[in-house]
Structure 1
Amino acid sequence: MVKEKLAGIDDEELVRRIIAENKTALFEELYKRYYLKVVDKCYSFIKNRDQAEDFANDILSKAYEKLPGFKRNARFSSWLYAITYNYSIDYLRHKKKLHYPNWNSENEIPDIPDEDEADLESLSYENLLKILEMIHPEEKALLLMKYQDNLPGKHIAQTLQISEDAVKMRLKRARTRVVYLFQTEFKKE
């Protein structure tokens, strides 16, 4: 198949052909489309470019193995990012021995009124990046999935294997933690 023709085929159709027609060579096109995106997602969590590249290879291999289980009720990119987030979070959990409920109870934050979220409008991008490094990887993943990748709560719940209500609660807690850290660390003037 000519490369130009592959460029016009959407991800889900490529997956269908890989599975239905056993055209495994087509996965190379998906690999090319997503390798750097997966590397960047991994890097945002682990802050090591070489390791992020290794993780991307592992994740894309894992995605290839799991292609028969891909349900077409979501976009391929969302499905792949779910694998990427889970892989990165699992690594950080094992490396840092982070268990979200324990970490959350050890890092309690005071109640902050919802209107204080308006404070975030003055938060610079650089300070936001610093704050994202200060919060738990699962909270960071939640915020990135919701606000960067625009994933609906249902997909976030499936990705993190928690209920939609837990997603709502944890998103609220993550936003509150960002506001609190902004107020205490960056708004001292």
Structure 2
Amino acid sequence: MHLDQHKHLNDEELVARIIHEGKTELFELLYKRYFFKVVDKSYSFIKNKSMAEDFANDILAKAYEKLPGFKGNSLFSSWLYAITYNYSIDYLRLKKKLHYPNWNSENEIPDIPDESEADLEEMSYDKLLIILERIHPEEKALLLMKYQDNLPGKAIAQTLRISEDAVKMRLKRARTRVIYLYQSMLEKD
């Protein structure tokens, strides 16, 4: 089979052909589309380029194995990124023993009035990147899944293996932490 004749298919059409028609060689197209995106997402958590490339291979292999479980309730990319976040966070949990409840209690933040959320919209991309490196990887993943990948709460809950209520609570806490760190940054400028 010549792969070029299938390049025009979107991700979900490729997945359908792989699953329902057994055209497993089409996964190579998905691999090529997403390898460097998965590397970038992994790198943003683990900060090691060669390890991020190894992770990307592992993550894409894992996605291939789990493909029959892809229900199409979200975009393939969202589903793949959820696997990527999970894989990266699991690694950090093991390597750095980053247990979120313990980390959160050691990194208390003051209550911030809700109107401060307007500060988020004024924040520069550069400052946001700096702040994302200072919060817990799970909070970072939550924010990226919600605001960059537009995943629904249920998908985020499944990815992080927590309840939807915990997602709402941690998302609120993560936004508050970002606002707090941003305000602290402004005071230092």
Partner residue in 1 for 2:185: 185
Q: Does 1:138 align with 2:145?
A: no
- Rounded to whole Å, the distance in 2 between the matches of 1:122 and 1:20 is 47
* 1:135 CA drift (Å): 0.3
Aligned partner of 2:48 in structure 1 is 48
| Alignment partners' CA distance in 2, 1:98 and 1:185 | 25
What is the aligned partner in structure 2 of residue 21 from structure 1? 21
In structure 2, the partner of 1:108 is 108
Superposition pairs for residues 158-173 of structure 1, below 5 Å? 158-173=158-173
**Sequence identity, in percent?**
78
Unaligned 5+ segments in structure 1 are none
Q: Does 1:117 align with 2:125?
A: no
Q: State TM-score, norm by structure 1.
A: 0.93
CA RMSD of aligned residues (A): 1.5
One-letter amino acid of the counterpart of residue 170, structure 1: R
Q: How far apart are residue 61 of structure 1 and its match?
A: 0.6
Quote the residue 1:73 is aligned against.
73
Contact 2:139–2:174 at 8 Å: present in 1 too? yes
Query: How far did residue 104 of structure 1 move?
Result: 0.7
Once the two structures are TM-superposed, the CA of residue 185 in structure 1 deviates from its matched residue by: 3.0
User: What amino acid is the match of 1:118?
Assistant: A
Residues 1:152 and 2:149 aligned together: no
Q: Partner of 1:128: helix, strand, or coil?
A: helix
Q: Offset at 1:155? A: 1.6
Q: Secondary structure at the match of 2:9?
A: coil
Q: Distance in 2 between matches of 1:102 and 1:156?
A: 21
How far residue 4 of structure 1 moved from its aligned partner, in angstroms, is 4.1
**Matched residue type, 1:161:** R
> Are the structure 2 counterparts of residues 14 and 121 from structure 1 closer, same or farther at C-alpha, using a change threshold of 3 Å?
closer
| Structure 1 CA distance for aligned equivalents of residues 143 and 173 of structure 2 | 10
The alignment partner of 2:188 has SS state of coil
Letter of the 1:129 partner, please give it.
L
Pairwise CA distance, 1:21: 2.5
Secondary structure, aligned partner of 1:71: coil
Letter in 2 for 1:68: P
Q: Which moved more, 1:124-133 or 1:65-74?
A: 65-74
Partner SS, residue 133 of structure 2: helix
Q: CA deviation at 1:186?
A: 3.5
Per-residue deviation, 1:2? 4.1
Corresponding residue number in structure 2 for 1:5: 5
Measured in 2, the distance between the counterparts of 1:2 and 1:134 equals: 46
Cα distance in 1, alignment partners of residues 136 and 24 from structure 2: 38
- Tell me if the contact between 1:127 and 1:186 (Cα under 8 Å) persists in the aligned partners: no
Residues in 1 aligned to 2:94 and 2:24: alpha-carbon distance in whole angstroms: 33
